[in-house]
Amino acid sequence: MDNIRYDISQFYPMKAVLERLFGKRCYRKLKETATLKDWKVEIQRLLRGIEVALDATVDVADNEWRVEMKQTLRRGRSLVSGAESITDLFAHLSATLVNLVFLQIGHLPVRASVEIVPLSPKYWQLNAYRSVQYVQSKSQAENLERQPGRRKTNRTLEIQGQVSRD
């Protein structure tokens, strides 16, 4: 049994994020009567979308990082395709996304042989191999501020010449 109920509220947060990414048709497909096969199709699409976004968006990165990201996504897609229940599917998706997050930050630490790892900065500074730098051009900042519902930030005011530097 795959534990999927025909209930709009089941897995709603995932349905909502997939709708945000892929549109209303995706949401309607998953809304109430989706099967495990339907969920697999959309989660595969999500993982492929992440790969396309990485290729299209990340301008500066070393080749090893790009290979690690692609391998992680390929492994995730393989695990998702073999999932026999919705629980397995979401477990594989979650593990894939956690791997991606840490690779995006710098690297995925491997500490399986350690008894406990404290949540203190010296154990979680992950820039030994590469550093993440987020930059924003003037036009990107202006694009962001044009988004409906955004309030003006100091950065926007600075771009518009409205912030004084006392």
How confident is the model over 46-77, as pLDDT tens digits?
999 999 999 999 999 999 999 999 999 999 99
The total of structural domains in the chain comes to: 2
Pair 43, 103 in one domain: yes
Residue 152 located in a structural domain = yes
For residue 20, the 8-state DSSP code is H
Q: In 106-137, which residue ranges form alpha helices assigned H by DSSP?
A: 121-124
Residue 97 located in a structural domain = yes
Residues 117-146, mean pLDDT to the nearest whole number: 91
- What is this structure's pTM? 0.82
Pair 28, 94 in one domain: yes
Pair 46, 89 in one domain: yes
pLDDT over 80 (residue 139): yes
Pair 83, 37 in one domain: yes
pLDDT over 60 (residue 45): yes
Residues 116-124, mean pLDDT to the nearest whole number: 95
Residue 2 located in a structural domain = no
Pair 16, 96 in one domain: yes
CB 124 within 8 A of CB 147: no
Pair 35, 104 in one domain: yes
Residue 23 located in a structural domain = yes
Pair 73, 153 in one domain: no
Pair 143, 89 in one domain: no
Q: Between 155 and 146, where is the model more confident?
A: 146
Pair 28, 89 in one domain: yes
Pick from 45, 91, 106, 99: nearest CA to 70: 99
Pair 159, 99 in one domain: no
Structural domain that includes position 35? 12-109+118-124
Residue 96 located in a structural domain = yes
Q: What local confidence, expressed as pLDDT, does residue 162 receive?
A: 56
Pair 36, 102 in one domain: yes
Q: Measuring CA to CA, how many Å separate 116 from each of 42, 102, 110, 119? A: 36, 18, 12, 10
> Band of the pLDDT at 165, cuts 50, 70, 90?
very low
